[in-house]
Amino acid sequence: MHAFSSEDAHKVREQLTELEKDALVKGWINGDDATRKVLENVGKDKINLYRDLKGQATEAKVSVETENQLYNHLTLFFSRYLR
């Protein structure tokens, strides 16, 4: 698992959003199994890039959420002892 900064997560989401505008990727996302297989043969690189970015976006979301939880716990901890 890769630790993503907020900036990294933002870049991944931007790349994913741009790729989702591509007609081939959009067709793959919305297609049935048969359509997906055909499009995977035609645009294997784009589809693989999309899958990779989608996985990174999920990891980034988890990473940023974990970072936020950590800061919240630290703030709560210190607020109890620094009053």
Q: What is the pLDDT of residues 15-24, one digit of tens each?
A: 999 999 999 9
Chain-centroid distance, C-alpha 62: 9
- Contact assessment for residue 65 and residue 4, using Cβ atoms and an 8 Å cutoff: no
57 within domain boundaries:
yes
1 within domain boundaries:
no
Predicted TM-score of the model (pTM): 0.65
47 within domain boundaries:
yes
To which residue do tokens 């989401």 refer? 13
- Which residue range forms the structural domain that includes residue 36? 6-81
Q: Which two tokens stand for residue 72?
A: 């919240």
Domain count, the chain: 1
Higher pLDDT: 22 or 10? It is 22
- Looking at residue 74, its pLDDT comes to 87
Q: Which two tokens stand for residue 36?
A: 């997906």
d(CA 64, CA 79): 22
